[in-house]
Structure 1
Amino acid sequence: MKTWSCHQLLGFCWEDVCQALWMRYPNSFTPHVTTEDTLSRGVRSWGSGGGNVLYSVRLLTKRSPIPDWATKLTRQSFVHIIEHSWVDCKRKLFVTVTENLNQRNSMCVTERCTYSAAKPTDNDVIKPVIVKNPLEKSETCSRLRFPSFSRKKSLEDHNSGNDKSDNRETTPEQAPKFDQIQQDLANVTIVKREVWVTSQRTGLKTALESFGKQRYKINVRKTLCGLLEVLETLKK
């Protein structure tokens, strides 16, 4: 099993992020998501506190290009994803858990994302995000830590150039300081991403798990850029 996790900061309030999450498809950064269907939705109790939350189950279909070396394992170019989500308005938590339904013998990717409103007690999470160089390529997605704080740039500026995923990066000069974020916590949402990649293919287990982890780290940039695009559109 290969695992990976990261924290990201969004310069939007938790309520806006929740609205954008329901509306994030389609967007120009994730054209590989072809269908989106809600299977069920309702209010139920959740967690040890027994509070009521909005629970939803959705089915997504994504195109998944297959590398040449993997064509002998599967010829399916589409992946069906089941998404479970819990929205707790009282604690300001939006949690999603997604997992692929097909191609599971070759690779099973389970992702858990937690979107929470920033609080003064979150300094231990926020500080490590701030102090690192935003342009550093690392396993913590640091190049996409501060994309939405540069509000003066228009979507046209973000979308100019060939590589869209790089257009939402923030230079060290543009990155907000810790004090600035502390003064505006009401407009900050913390994203925690966790992923587990497993494979049951004998002899190829390690290679497939490593490939799945690297592909996830690339795709997560596009996912975040797409969410930011929707958030900017909602703010217009």
Structure 2
Amino acid sequence: MQSQLLLTAISSLHQICIRVTSIVMDGHPTNQRMANILGGNLNPDNIRITFQHLSNPELNVYIFFDACHLLKNFRGALHSLQQLQEETIGTAKWSDIKRLEELQRNEGLRAANKLTKTIIEFTNQKMNVKLAVQVLSNSVAKSLQFASSVCEDFGSCQGTINLVAMVERMFDIFNSRTPAAKCFKHPINARNFESFESFLLSTSSVLLNLKDMAVRKFAMEKERYV
């Protein structure tokens, strides 16, 4: 039903000379199923990012997930699972980010980031995109690097630094808003395509190979008794 409603809307807009170029959605299974019915596929193993325009077969309609919604999902996953691991970047821990906020609150200073207790305890504001952006930001990654170098009791948190910085750069690419932006916020063009493509491919590999530490520990325990 959702796919038929969408096709009707696209067709009606085409009749009044408005071309629908893309469909942006969250990752709900209903939306993913709709994409499959329309001819697309957002499964990482078989991605098809377009489907044929109903009113003009020569045109394609692009489909993709909403970057803001996915960022909130990722923040929620790290918070819920507490630890995520990948061989090339190490182990990322939610506790590292929480300890950074506590350290700054106790010292009465912030290391050029926007972390607050409200941002760490976000469960009553899950839909607030800004709270997720302020957690998974380059400023937090740099602050963690600084804290681990000057506070002996803070400990190593390189895995968290690597993952936060990587996700922040990826979000900047997908959330580009103006041609005047710089670095990863600049729109993809012929000059930066190769470097952006290389970064996104390596990031994709990391994200698709992240492991939940609880599941990993369970698997290791199971192997011991088999």
Q: Which structure has more strand as a fraction of its residues?
A: 1
TM over 0.5: no
Structure number with the bigger relative contact order (C-alpha 8 A, sep ≥ 6) is: 1
What is the TM-score when the length of structure 1 is the normalising length?
0.27
Q: For the pair shown, which has the larger CA radius of gyration, 1 or 2?
A: 2
